[in-house]
Amino acid sequence: MRKVSKIEPISPSLPPRKKVAAYARVSMETERLNHSLSAQVSYYSNLIQSNPEWEYAGVYADNAVTGTKSSSREEFQRMLEDCEAGKIDIILTKSISRFARNTVDLLEAVRHLKELGIEVRFEKEHINSLSGDGEVMLTLLASFAQEEVRSLSENVKWGTRKRFEQGIPNGRFLIYGYRWEGDHLVVEPEEAKIVRLIYDNFLKGLSAEATEKQLEEMGAKSMKGMHFPNSSIRAILKNITYTGNLLFQKEYTLDPISKKTRKNHGELPQYFVENTHEAIIPMETYQAVQAEIARRQELGALANWSINTSCFTSKIKCGLCGASFVRNTRKNRAKTSQLGERYTFYGCGTNKRKGAHCFSGTIREDVLKEECAKALGLPEFDEDTFSGRVAKVTIPATGTMVFELTDGTSFEHHWSRNAKKESWTAERRKAVSEYRRSRETGWKCYHTFTHFIKCGRCGANYRCQTHKRVDGTVVRSWYCSSPTAVDCSKVGIREDTLKALIADVMGLPEFDEELFNQQLAYATVPADNEIAFHFRDGHEVSRTFAQKRQMPRHTEERKKHMSEVMKAKWRERHAEND
């Protein structure tokens, strides 16, 4: 008997729909261009949704944003993020100039999208980024778009210079102390009082920082209602607009692609327009302030009376990097006097900057004075004689000083010292030996608790670390010194907390170093918040202590808020500099 099988019809499977998005941009905030942007968004929305093979993935639109920098276009960046997340397969855009006017940015974006398998279609130029000759055509046409930006920029600059030649400012810039009424600057009385105060303070010898504190106490605010920083005060002191005159083209843009600005130090012509508005500061006062600024810049730190200076300030220079030697103090480990005494020395200022280092040596202040006296032929060092005769002293290497005198002559002076050997006298050797024996800590013990605290997990000694607070006070903390022990959490104990615990276990009202050395042998830290004290008579006492509170990480909202604050400050500073 025949066997018959029924074959069911197969339903044709439809190919998956492509996720299609569009990108639109206009570069200026005008009614006409806003209408153009709306038209682009509406056009692409209808186009994508009317195609049955496409799935609508949205329209990304940047309004009033330049196309020369992709990083400044929020919607463009959001579109790239969605592409990386797999939400887009095809991007439609009107033209190359709408997508990017910077050739490098355009090619980087298109190549990145090509690696992701995402196609970009440029309607006006009929270019598909995934086609064989797509990148070649994009490179050529993007270069034309970039050059078009340069051409437009040059035309704008030409028009701006023509207005400058006629005494017309480039827009209504913001400046503290004035307001625009029509095409004229009008004095704002309350802010004008602050401007006059700033100039008067400077001529009286006060620094911008001192004026900043005074304005803070007065409750004076900037034009945007924010804190009055010393940078804005310095900008006001240099702004000639307060004399009733205008100076045009104080800054210029390097190129329309990077949009970086530079101060005009003679690279381009400037235009000085006299008597354009009411003056707040007389021209004589303004010129006196500029002369005082130049004088203070030449003197450097010596011009600031609030800084503790000496005859060596700004005169001792490093022969390796050219920076000035600065005054420092540190613990004296070389004298025969009691341990812990501090002395003064000079070292290269480069080492004061974070992340910088100079390999020049240091020189003690007493040695510097002694050698300067020898070099100048003086029986003893005299500050007035040194200041009057010496213009600069360069130290190219330890043991060498090059003197440049005020009469134009110069000479080298050499010296050699063996301070460490000379200082290791019998008295100092005896003092150090007695201290080491009392602590049983090994050699080079210069802190009270050195080698006293031991880690209960890895057995390593605790070491001291110091940091300075905002108010200038120095805080010491002790941490496990093992660099490899993974079980150690590196939670430390502050020295003031340690002293309070020792006084508590010894039954004393406050810490006594002499009794401490007599009774306690060592301490161990078995856990992060526990410490055990071992007495010399054999008994042990444990105590718990509060761990140092860790500062929480900034949230994304906090970071965004601080970013907006910094942008607002920058805009205010930029506006006041114009």
> Is 99:120 a contact under the CB 8 Å cutoff?
yes
Segments of 451-556 assigned E as strands: 453-455, 462-468, 474-480, 493-494, 520-527, 530-535, 540-544
Domain of 265, CATH number, reads 3.90.1750.20
Quick one: 194 and 276 in the same domain? yes
Domain that holds residue 473: 436-544
Segments of 14-139 assigned E as strands: 18-26, 54-63, 90-93, 119-122, 127-128
Does pLDDT of 550 surpass 50? no
pLDDT tens digits along 38-69: 888 888 888 888 888 899 998 998 886 665 56
Domains of the chain: total: 4
pLDDT at 302: 56
Secondary structure of 83-115 as H, E, C letters: HHCCCCCEEEECCHHHHCCCHHHHHHHHHHHHH
Q: How far is CA 119 from CA 60, 88, 89, in A?
A: 16, 9, 7
pLDDT at 295: 81
Quick one: 27 and 135 in the same domain? yes
Quick one: 134 and 25 in the same domain? yes
pTM for this predicted structure: 0.43
Rg (CA), the chain: 36
pLDDT tens digits along 494-531: 888 889 899 999 888 888 888 888 888 889 988 878 88
> Is 462:469 a contact under the CB 8 Å cutoff?
no
Identify the helix (H) or strand (E) that includes residue 209. helix 208-218
Position of tokens 């000085």? 272
Burial (CB count <10 Å: 0-12, 13-18, 19+), residue 158: exposed
From 271, 303, 335, the end of a domain falls on 303
Q: Is residue 399 part of a domain?
A: yes
Q: Is residue 123 part of a domain?
A: yes
Quick one: 293 and 242 in the same domain? yes
Q: Is residue 288 part of a domain?
A: yes
What is the rounded distance in angstroms from the CA atom of residue 513 to the CA atom of residue 524?
A: 19
What's the longest Cα–Cα distance across the chain? Answer: 136
Quick one: 267 and 338 in the same domain? no
pLDDT tens digits along 368-389: 888 899 999 999 998 888 888 9
